[in-house]
Structure formats: C-alpha cells, structure tokens
Structure 1
Amino acid sequence: MAPPAQTNRSPSPSQPSGKSEVTDLKSQLRQLAGSRLPGVDDSKRELFKKVISYMTIGIDVSSVFGEMVMCSATSDIVLKKMCYLYVGNYAKVNPDLALLTINFLQRDCKDEDPMIRGLALRSLGSLNVANLVEYLVGPLNAGLKDNNSYVRIVAVIGVLKLYHISVTTCIDADFPAVLKHLLLNDQDTQVVANCLLALQEIWNGEASTSGDAMKEREALLSKPFIYYLLNRIKEFSEWAQCLVLDLVVKYVPADSNEIFDIMNLLEDRLQHANGAVVLATAKVFLHLTLSMTDVHQQVYERIKAPLLTLVSSGSPEQSYAVLSHLHLLVMRAPYVFSADYKHFYCQYNEPSYVKKLKLEMLTAVANESSTYEIVTELCEYAANVDIPIARESIRAVGKIALQQYDVNAIVDRLLQFLEMEKDYVTAEALC
C-alpha cells in the first residue's frame, strides 16, 4: 500500500514562520524611518499593523523596538496610537526598554497637537515602573496646566496612577493641592470629575496615617463644596453625576430645611434617561430622610414611578438591576406598591432571573383586593416551559394562600394543578 502523498504547506501570510519575518519587518521599518517620500505614512501603517498583530498573538517583536520609535516621529495620530500601544506593552515587562521609551514620550508630551500630548502623557503614566517615576513629575505638572482640557483630563488620572506607583513622590510634588485648585476652578466638568475621583482615592488612602489628609477628606463633605457640585451637576456626564451623588450620600445636612433644599436640587435627576443616575438619586433621597418617617414614606411614592419606568424601558440586565433595588423597597413597604402589581407580571421573553424576582414581589404585594388577579396570573405560569419558574409560581400561590383569610378560591386553584398530570406540578401543589 503506497504511503499518502506529502503536501508542502506554506505558512499563512498573516503569521510569521520564524525570526526571518521579524527581521524583514525590522529592515523595512528602518528603511522608512528617515523617509520623507509621499505616502510613507501609509506604508508605515501597514508595517505597524503587522507588528501589532504579531504582538497580539504572542510573537516576540521586541527586537523592532528602536525602529518603531524612530518611525513614530510623525504627526500621524494613527501611527502614534499604534506605537504607544506597542511600547507600553513591552516597556512594562522590560525596564531597559522602558528607559528608552522615556525620552520619546517626554518629547511627545511637548508636541503641538494636544491629542498627541494627551496620548503620550497617558502612555507615560501607564508604564508603571517605580524606578522611573521622577521622569513623570515634570510632564504631569505641565499637563495639569495645559490649555487643552483633554490633556488636563489625562494628567489628573496620571496623578492618580503616580500615587499608586509612589505615594511619596505624589505627595512631595504637591499634586493633591493642584488637583484641589482644578476641582474648584476648572471650567471643564470632566476635569472636575476626574479631580474629585483622584482626590477621594488619595485622601482616603492617606487619612489613616495623616491628620492633614483627614481634614482634606472632611472638606470634601463641607456644605459649600457639596452645594458647588450640586449646582453644577447638570453639566456633568452620567458617570460624573453618579460620582457626585455618591459623595452627597455621605454628607450630613444641618437641618430639615437643608434636606429639602438638596432634594429640590436633585428632583429632576429622577427623570434622567440613565438608570444609574436615577438609582443614585433615589439612594440620596432615601438616605437623607431616614430620620423623617413621614417624609421617608413620601419619598417611596416619589421614586416609585421612575423606578417602575426603568424596569419596563431597559434591557433585561438593567431591569434586573432596578428590580433588585425595587425588591428591597417592596419588602420594606409592600403597601406602597400594592396598586402597581401589574408591573411585576412576567413577560414571556424575560430571562428566568428577572421572572424569579417578579414572582417574589408579586407574592409580597398581594392583598385582599388584588389576590384573585395575582393568583390567576400565577396559575398561567404553572404551564411555563421553564420548569423552575413553573415551580416558583406554584409556591407563590401557596405563600399567598397562607397570608390571606379567604383561601377557598386559592385552594381550588391548587387542586386544579393536580389535574395537569405533570410530576413537578403535582409535587409542588401537594407541598
């Protein structure tokens, strides 16, 4: 019997078969490094893409480091981004290459294009090499004073990165004081939000060891500062609004008048299109009124409609998140939601985890006036193709029967389950 014919398969053009391809790439990059011919940036892009693709699939292309840096001496943003991605990847694991990167990135931090300045500063802060932090202080100082808001946004986060690499360097350079000044005076709300985030992390970390940091952290919760943020909250992004609202929860108002002032300022946030903002606002309202029983109950009524709207208007994941919050409120005050039980009816296309929460809430809000309709709805779920949900619905009928006085009609429904001739239905009905 003749052996099978051997076929020679050439390596895929998208993957190098050995060091020769990387060497060839290095040669081509070196030829283009000093070229000023028309279209040279397009040729560089193609080579950069190959280098990045090889790096992504785990092939060592660190040998072309010098050539990549030389080819990035251009104003082409795409080339810069790919080069920063490359040098950041190898500089983190190779201190020698990281040192070579410093001069290149520091030069780009002074570029005329603010986008390049910001990208270079971000890459410089991402090197995460403790021995090189002194090279970061100067560019960060310049970035915090830059006239372009994007560069300042990046610089603020760079300060936070520096703090996590070297606390001493960050504090000695007096960066927290600069961030505080920007927080109170910068016109760009994203810069303000980033400063708030950075200062919270820095002062929370330092509060356990420094009395000054403790005072600064308490200053974040002072009345002038809180009202300054609240008066600008509409200018902030959704993420930043949640950051501000999370800080407001920790604030202790002086009296009931101040509580009402804050709630009036935040009233329109309950109508926000973003679910996270609505939930964060509801948390503020509930927390502020904990000591005011009557007002606390009114807050339940006020936040009910926005939360129920979010349940029906979002994705299943958002519905589950909002329902989880509603579930806590329903367990605390079921009578508030007793008239809204139809919002907790299950939809056929909802995931099981959403249906399970709704069944628990239907059980909690059932009262004398709604029991019949709720039990009728639950009986429909007993024939659900999702067996765990069918079981849960039968259990819910039994729980409602235990908490109602007139149970004859419910018992009749349970007896009807025995006629369905399904083992799991019979088992749950008997239990």
Structure 2
Amino acid sequence: MNAAIQTNIARLQIMKAKVLAALRKGENYELKTELNSEYRERRKEAVRRVIANMTVGKDVSGLFTDVLKNMHTDDLEIKKLIYLYLINYAKTQPDLVILAINTFVKDAEDSNPLIRALAIRTMGCLHVQEVLDYLCDPLSKCLKDANPYVRKTAVMCVAKVFDLSAKIAEDNGFVDAVRAALSDSNTMVVSNAVSALVEMNDMAPQHNVWKLESQSVSKLLTAVNECVEWGQIAILEALADYTPKDEKEAENVCERVLPRLQHANGSVVLTTVRLLLKYESFVRRADLLTRFSKKMVPPLVTLLSSESEIQYVALRNINIILQRHPRLLSKEIRVFFCRYNDPIYVKYEKLDILVRICSERNTETLLNELKEYAKEVDVDFVHRAIMAISRLAIRYESAAKKSMAALTELVETKVDHVVQDVVVAVAEILRHYPGKFEDVVPTLCEYMDYVSEPRAKASLIWALGEYSEQVKNINNVLTSFVESFMEEEDATVHLAIINSAVKYFVKQPQKGQALVLKALKTATEKCANPDVRDRAYIYWRLMSADPNAARAVVLAQKPPMEPESADLSPALLNELVSDLGCVSSVLQIPERLFIYKNTEKAGIPLKSGGMMGQVQPGDSDDGVSGSPAAGDGGMVGGMDTTNGGEPELLISF
C-alpha cells in the first residue's frame, strides 16, 4: 500500500515538473514549435497568433527567424501577415531583415500583381538603410509595370526611398519617374504621384522636387473627377497650394472643382472649400464670388448631420471659415441649435458659432434658445449659455435690453450656479453700456445670498460700488462685505471691496467715511496679499493728500469697454485657412508647432483677444478634454493610398 502511494506521489511530482517547465518556456516557445510544424494549417494558425500578440503589444521579436522561414508560401494571407510582422520589427533587427531580401525580390517579379505590389510596398515600409541597395532594381521595374495597381504602389514607395536617401532616389531616376507618372493613363497612379511629390517636397524643400505648373493643372482637374475619394483629396490639396497665373485660370479651376462640394466624404468637401477660399483673392467678379459662397453653404450644413466626431471637426473648421466670411451662414442659424443628445464638446462649438452668425433680425430667436440652454443640468454648459447671452448683448446694442430681461428672468430661478453666472454676465453688460440698465442692480442684491464664487462676488461688489445710488440700504450691504473681509480668501474680492468702499465714500462722504476707513485699515493691517495692501495704501494716501483729486480719479469718466474678441489673429487665420480640413484647423494651432521637431516656433499670436466662456487652446478646464481631435480619418490630413486604397495618415506626431 505504501509503495503504491509513493509511486503515485512520484508520478505527480514528475507531472508538476513538466507543467512548470512548460510554463517557464511560455507561449513564445509554443509558437516557435508551431511555426516549425510540418503541417501547413498549424503554421498558418501560429502566424495568426503571432500577429495577434504583436497587435496587443506583446514582444514576439524573438520569433523573427522562425517567422521568416514561413515566407516561402503561396498563401497570400500568410504572406501579408508575415510582411506586417517584418515591418513592425525591421528597425530592431535590421541585420535579420536581409535574410528576407531574396523572397522580396522574387515576389516583386511574381505573376500576380497583388503580390508584386505587396512586395514593393513592404520593402519601402521596412525603412531600413540596408534594404535600399536591394530595393532599387525591383522598384525600377515596378514603376514601369503594366498593371496600374503596381505602378501606383511603386510611386508611393519612391517617397519612402526619398525619405531614407534623397540622393539614391534622384540618382536612380525615381523622382523623374514619379513626375512622369503625372501623365499616366490611370487616375490612381496620377493621384498617388501627386501625393508622393507633395510629400517629398515637404521632406526636403531645398531639393525643389516638384512645382505644379499651369500645363499640368488641366490634367489634374480631369483626373480629380475619376479618382477615389483619397485621390481626390491629394489632387485638391495640390491645387489648393497652387498659385494661378491669372484670374481666368483661377475662375476655371474653381468652376471645375465645384462638383466636389457634393461629395459624401467630409474631407473632400473641406479641401474643396479650402481651395475656393484660397482662390477667391484671384477672382474679381463679384457675381462669381457670391455664387461660390452660396455653393459652399449646403455641404457645410450637411456635415452637421454626420456622426458627432465629424460634426466636431466640421464645426471647428466652420468657425475658421466664418472669421473670413462672417455672414456666410447667417440664414442657417437653426442648424446650429444644440440637440439634447449632442456631446458636450459639440454643444460648446455650436454655442460659439451661434453668437458669431447671429444677426439683429434673429437675436430674439437665439435669446429664447439660450434661455432654454441656461436651464439645463450641465453646469459648464449653463455657464457658457449665460455668457453667450452676455456676448450677444455686447455685440448688438439692439439686443441688450432683451438680453438683460432674459438674465433677470434667469436669476429668479434661485439656482446657485445660474445666479452667479448671471451676476458676472450682467456686470460685463454694465461695463459695456455705462449708465444703462443700472436699475437691475437692486434685483441682483435680492439674490446676494446665492453668490459665493469669487468671480461672481467680485462682479456684484463692483456693481454695488458703481451704482451705489440705486441701492437703498447700500451702507448696510457694503458694511457686511467689509466686516467679512478677512473671511474672503480671493484677492479679487478684496480689491473689489476696497474699490467699492472708496467709490461709495467719494460719492457720499458723510455716510461712507467710517466704512472706507474700516476697509482700508483692515486691508493694510491684516491682509497678507501685497497687491491688496498696496491698493489700500494708494487710496489712503490719495484721499489724505487731496480729497478732490481722489474724487476726480475714482469717478473719472471711463470709455465703454470694448468686447473681448475670439477672432484669430490675421496671420494665424490665413495659415489655418490654408490648412482647412487638417489637424491644425481642428486644434487651431499652426502645423509647425506640433508636427516638426527641433524647429523654432514662430511667434504668431493664437488669438487677437480672449472670449468669455470660449474654449482656448491649452485651457486646463476647457471641458473638452478627451474630445476627438479629428473625427474620422476622412476628415484630416493628407492620405497615403498605397495599401490597396486604404487611407494612411502621412502626419506623424
């Protein structure tokens, strides 16, 4: 009995040792075994598992030689997967990539055009200097291949060779071959040739690889009607960067590209709009300019019916377009009304555009809409809606009275965050229209208990000091603020209390003397903030030296405040119009500031001024963190169509 037990224990220990050994070897050992299996299906499944592991970030570089052994196959699926593996690990194991060169060269002469194109594309994508010498001969043959699919893949491969070595690309005549491909009979080849030439120009401007000339424009305009959408984008971008020789050519190009505005792809639409905006400076006929502008409206409106991410990209671009043509969409204001299911980042953009496109005849419609937004549950959205009402009042004097009535109506809701935002908005309007609407100040005082946020409290105190004669118990109200001076932590509130106390004193010296003395004494003796103390000392010395001078300074007639501008600076606006539909137009930052490394950042101001409630680039609490930068691939950037027409972003961060 004991012997049997000991035998079983020994067997269990052996099994345990085998299991532990297998675990130590890990999945890579299992994959290595499967890759070297004599059965084709097992090898195929192993390759799939290797690629799956690679895709999720697991390191399978140790299987490099085992994967290479499976390259000699007629199975196109396996070949594609292995080529994908090689592209991923070529830079870490460049010496081992040489082992696959013979297979690449052989595949580049295969009877199947898909395999020829796949081989030449993969050799270019390896981006390894050691492969260049072996790539030149197959690439030369593929550039002259009878099949257009192979040719269009080869012209894009030239751009990859040029990136590794411009000298090799030029000495072997590859660049000249791409230029010649502009006259190819196949539009796919033409569009890829344009993409390759533009990309090479961007890589090395000093080489002057290509400059679009007048005689080539007509060919590209013919090709753009027959290309797939990614090819159309490439050609339209090249035409947008072209400077027409005269007005007639500019008019002809605009007329020929107008049908592209009806395309289903948003990137095609935005690139066409970019071209029209660029060429409008060359067209002098007012009737044509009006016609072109009217043609742009329907496709831009249609983009707002797309997915939320595409809407966001479209709205950011529309914001730029409206700064060039403010009245372009003034009749389409209802299209920009926020829907209940819009993501918050889309709502923010719509609010900005609503104020921008509003005209005097539809201010009442917009005010009613904004009042509804101000009753939503999202605090940030409510804040922006109330600030939009303020901006509307400042922008149109005719709407100021109705805006103030709307704000007064909102303050009666007695919701804390609504009351506080209304106080700030009313203060902005009062600053812009001094001497008007002061009768609203007593109403604000009735809801003083709902005001706790520093900015709102400072705005209310400013209004009390500026229009103290409108409030019956002003002395008691200001006294309550002075007595709670040290309870406040924000310097903005401290400064507002001092300013209002001084204003009240110079207006009513008998009633305000005790109040101002207490405020100044508290500020100079107890406050730790040097700015607050300095302000208090200045007022104290000024009033002690010459009360009349103090009165003249404090009650001096001030010009109305100019509205803060959300417009981009002219230099930046011109740059972003030239990049319409690209990532830079969504970020509203020049391309060179976030793409090219080790480049001096030019000092172009991003904004000509701020905006109340406006999302600014770089804001930490802009409410749009995590929002999409660019919708889907069809909305941004130039495209590489070498992968069987599938888009690849040329932009790399």
Q: Distance in 1 between matches of 2:93 and 2:399?
A: 76
- Counterpart in the other structure of 1:244: 235
- Counterpart in the other structure of 2:421: 428
- The 8 Å contact of residues 368 and 404 in structure 1, kept in 2 or not, is answered as no
Letter in 2 for 1:321: V
Q: Distance in 1 between matches of 2:71 and 2:99?
A: 14
Confirm whether residue 418 of structure 1 aligns to residue 417 of structure 2: no
Confirm whether residue 401 of structure 1 aligns to residue 393 of structure 2: yes
Q: Distance in 1 between matches of 2:285 and 2:400?
A: 34
Aligned Cα RMSD in Å? 2.9
Q: Structure 1 residues 379 and 157 mapped into 2: Cα distance closer, same or farther (>3 Å)?
A: same
Confirm whether residue 123 of structure 1 aligns to residue 122 of structure 2: yes
Q: Distance in 1 between matches of 2:31 and 2:367?
A: 72
CA apart distance, 1:225: 0.4
- Counterpart in the other structure of 2:102: 103
Q: Distance in 2 between matches of 1:333 and 1:47?
A: 59
Q: Distance in 2 between matches of 1:180 and 1:392?
A: 52
Larger Rg: 2
Q: Distance in 1 between matches of 2:22 and 2:307?
A: 44
CA apart distance, 1:47: 2.9
Letter in 1 for 2:138: P
Higher helix share: 1
Letter in 2 for 1:105: F
Confirm whether residue 254 of structure 1 aligns to residue 245 of structure 2: yes
- Counterpart in the other structure of 2:306: 314
For CA contacts below 8 A with separation 6 or more, give which structure has more relative contact order. Answer: 2
Q: Distance in 1 between matches of 2:136 and 2:94?
A: 18
The secondary structure found in structure 1 opposite 2:360 is coil
TM-score under structure 2 length normalisation: 0.58
Q: Structure 1 residues 192 and 395 mapped into 2: Cα distance closer, same or farther (>3 Å)?
A: same
- Where do residues 22-421 of structure 1 align in structure 2 (5 Å cutoff)? 26=32, 29-30=35-36, 32=38, 40-53=39-52, 58-60=58-60, 62=62, 65=65, 67-185=66-184, 187-208=185-206, 210=207, 213=208, 217-218=210-211, 220=212, 222-291=213-282, 292=284, 294=286, 295-311=288-304, 313-402=305-394, 403-405=396-398, 407-421=400-414
The secondary structure found in structure 1 opposite 2:23 is coil
Q: Distance in 2 between matches of 1:419 and 1:342?
A: 27
- The 8 Å contact of residues 153 and 191 in structure 1, kept in 2 or not, is answered as yes
Q: Distance in 2 between matches of 1:238 and 1:17?
A: 50
Letter in 2 for 1:121: I
Q: Distance in 2 between matches of 1:411 and 1:80?
A: 70
Q: Distance in 2 between matches of 1:315 and 1:306?
A: 15
Counting aligned pairs with the same residue, the percent is 31
CA apart distance, 1:332: 4.1
Q: Distance in 1 between matches of 2:131 and 2:344?
A: 52
CA apart distance, 1:330: 3.0
CA apart distance, 1:60: 4.6
- The 8 Å contact of residues 330 and 358 in structure 2, kept in 1 or not, is answered as yes
- The 8 Å contact of residues 170 and 176 in structure 2, kept in 1 or not, is answered as no
CA apart distance, 1:269: 1.0
**Which deviations, in whole Å up to 9, do the C-alpha atoms of 1:136-188 show, x marking residues without a partner?**
10111122122223322322222211111122211111101111222212x33
Letter in 2 for 1:188: N
**Tell me, which stretches of 5 or more residues in structure 2 are unaligned?**
1-11, 425-653
**Which deviations, in whole Å up to 9, do the C-alpha atoms of 1:20-76 show, x marking residues without a partner?**
8655655554452xxxxxxx43232123234445555535563561x5434332211
Q: Structure 1 residues 259 and 94 mapped into 2: Cα distance closer, same or farther (>3 Å)?
A: closer
Count of aligned residue pairs for this structure pair = 406
Q: Distance in 2 between matches of 1:59 and 1:329?
A: 47
Letter in 2 for 1:102: I
Q: Structure 1 residues 18 and 120 mapped into 2: Cα distance closer, same or farther (>3 Å)?
A: farther
Letter in 2 for 1:362: L
CA apart distance, 1:420: 0.8
- The 8 Å contact of residues 87 and 125 in structure 2, kept in 1 or not, is answered as yes
The secondary structure found in structure 2 opposite 1:217 is coil
**Which deviations, in whole Å up to 9, do the C-alpha atoms of 1:103-125 show, x marking residues without a partner?**
22222222222222222222222
CA apart distance, 1:231: 1.4
Letter in 1 for 2:23: S
The secondary structure found in structure 1 opposite 2:310 is helix
Q: Structure 1 residues 405 and 78 mapped into 2: Cα distance closer, same or farther (>3 Å)?
A: closer
Q: Distance in 1 between matches of 2:89 and 2:399?
A: 73
Q: Structure 1 residues 341 and 167 mapped into 2: Cα distance closer, same or farther (>3 Å)?
A: same
CA apart distance, 1:315: 1.1
CA apart distance, 1:251: 2.2
